[in-house]
Amino acid sequence: MARWTRRQWMARSVAAVSAPWVVPARVLGRGDATPPSECIILGGIGLGHRGQDVLRWMLQQPDVRFVAICDVQRVRREQVKAIVERTQGVGSCATYRDIRQFLSERTDVEAVLIATSDRWHALASVWAMRAGKDVYCEKPSSMTVAEGRAVVETARKYGRVYQTGTQRLSAPHHVTVFELARQGRLGRVHTAYAHIADGATVLSVHWRGEEPLPPPDELDWDAWLGPCPWRPYHSSYVQGGWRGDDDFHTGAIGEWGAHTIAQCLQAIEPPCGPVRIIPAPNVSGDGCRLVFSNGITLVLEQGRRRWRGACGEWIEGDEGYAAAADGYSQPHVSSPALLRESSRLLSAYRLRTGRALDHVRNFLDCIRRREDPVANAEVMHRSMSLVHAANIAQRLQRELVYDWPNDHFVDAPDADRYLARVQRAPWTMG
């Protein structure tokens, strides 16, 4: 089916509506607002608390028009519809329960925000890109190395813009840390520390018994499970109780490491040679070390030994260190002199890359320019494959060598078996 242009969609929408909408003036393109025909048409898939936060962020952009939400939970559909219609006017947001129907029918939607629980991230992204949509997907963007590779290949094959929700890659204080390291201000970088969440990274499967299924319009349980193995319904799962379960979660390393390993890689730019992974003697991953072929060591670390906030990176060189985390207004550095040129470093970064220091804006700009955003599919897969490789080394409790460019372990077939998972039909990438 051919894609409609924005103008065709607006004309069809106006003709199809018999009753008037209550629409704010800015949505009609009055004053300084972007005309509807020039807006980027967005939809959403699985927008809970985090997804609704990102949605509000997107709705602040002047050139965005959000038209439809797809979610297996009715309460989420209603929440998102209310958020959108408070901004865009009554009747401006359609609702869908089935992702397949949503992707096939809404040919007007140019890009989607995906913020389902983790197990659906890669599959929803692949399906959306095959349907011709650009994708902003929350982290962690894959549950396995094989899923991450599928996202990369799909984005490349269909020419889609993909941004993963590692928003700190666009935050000024984090970008300053990256630039201090990349521009040699810290001397020769030898160690990077990635903050990981408290708790376990070696997980098991926990069934919670069985409760009566809600009506399908309240919750489509089969679709909620998606590609994961079937299990009986229990209400705690849909209330966040999926965390800590191996079918649904990537553990302490994946929870924050999906952010912080990407942040460290932005700073140190290691070569894509084999990576030696030395597990920590625990179930958490605290102290796990990844040694790159150029000698730089990336250490996974829990707690507040280096950071006073969450999701931080700490980059250390022969001449100093720089770190950032949530709640920082500027980097924590070994010498105040390192911050004297921070404004110039940020200006040079923006001039060199053309990227906004705003993750959503970077995504929208790249949709218009058809460019790769800062957290594109390759960047996502490069960092997430290390998340998964570290999890596997922790599970097996032995040193492994991970062949980064080729997505497999060297002489370790028992480790390679964890690189992919069987997906439950019909929720597959096949």
In tens digits, what is the pLDDT along the chain, a chain of 430 residues? 344 444 444 444 433 333 334 445 455 555 466 877 799 999 999 999 999 999 999 999 999 999 999 999 999 999 999 999 999 999 999 999 999 999 999 999 999 999 999 999 999 999 999 999 999 999 999 999 999 999 999 999 999 999 999 999 999 999 999 999 999 999 999 999 999 999 999 899 988 889 999 999 999 999 999 999 999 999 999 999 999 999 999 999 999 999 999 999 999 988 888 999 999 999 999 999 999 999 999 999 999 999 999 999 999 999 999 999 999 999 999 999 999 989 999 999 999 999 999 999 999 999 999 999 999 999 999 999 999 999 999 999 999 999 999 999 999 999 999 999 999 999 999 8
Return the amino acid letter for 145: V
**Where are the CATH 3.30.360.10 domain residues in the chain?**
169-201+251-353+382-411
162: which residues sit within 8 A by CB, 6+ positions away?
125, 129, 134, 135, 137, 151, 155, 373, 376, 377, 380
**Where are the CATH 3.40.50.720 domain residues in the chain?**
6-167
Tokens linked to 99: 């992702």
Task: Give the C-alpha separation, 278 to 299, whole Å.
Answer: 10
CA gyration radius for the chain?
A: 22
Task: Give the C-alpha separation, 76 to 48, whole Å.
Answer: 6
Tell the burial category of 182 from Cβ atoms under 10 Å away from its Cβ (0-12, 13-18, 19+). middle
Query: For residue 276, what pLDDT is reported?
Result: 98
Query: For residue 174, what pLDDT is reported?
Result: 98
Give yes or no for a contact between 84 and 69, defined as CB atoms under 8 angstroms apart.
Answer: yes
Task: Give the C-alpha separation, 362 to 356, whole Å.
Answer: 5
Tokens linked to 300: 């996974």
Tell the burial category of 201 from Cβ atoms under 10 Å away from its Cβ (0-12, 13-18, 19+). buried
Query: For residue 14, what pLDDT is reported?
Result: 37
Task: Give the C-alpha separation, 165 to 178, whole Å.
Answer: 18
The CATH number that domain 6-167 falls under is 3.40.50.720
Task: Give the C-alpha separation, 135 to 377, whole Å.
Answer: 10
Task: Give the C-alpha separation, 421 to 398, whole Å.
Answer: 21
Closest CA to 332 of 348, 312, 350: 312
Whole-model pTM?
0.91
Closest CA to 48 of 140, 126, 117, 119: 117
Q: How many other CB atoms sit within 10 Å of the CB of residue 388?
A: 25
DSSP 277: E
Strands 400-403 and 332-333: unpaired
Query: For residue 35, what pLDDT is reported?
Result: 79
| Ordered alpha helix ranges (H), 169-220 | 172-182
Query: For residue 270, what pLDDT is reported?
Result: 87
Query: For residue 17, what pLDDT is reported?
Result: 35
Task: Give the C-alpha separation, 361 to 160, whole Å.
Answer: 17
Architecture of domain 169-201+251-353+382-411: 2-Layer Sandwich (3.30)
Strand ranges (E), 259-406:
275-278, 289-291, 297-301, 313-317, 320-324, 332-333, 400-403
Query: For residue 29, what pLDDT is reported?
Result: 52
Closest CA to 149 of 348, 346, 419: 419
Give yes or no for a contact between 59 and 80, defined as CB atoms under 8 angstroms apart.
Answer: no
Task: Give the C-alpha separation, 370 to 317, whole Å.
Answer: 36
Query: For residue 36, what pLDDT is reported?
Result: 77
Task: Give the C-alpha separation, 282 to 252, whole Å.
Answer: 12
Tokens linked to 185: 């201000």
Return the amino acid letter for 230: W
Query: For residue 272, what pLDDT is reported?
Result: 82
Strands 275-278 and 289-291: antiparallel
| Long-range interactions of 340-346: CB distance < 8 A, separation 24+ | 341/185, 342/176, 345/176, 345/179, 345/180, 345/183, 346/172, 346/175, 346/176, 346/179
Tokens linked to 133: 């949509």
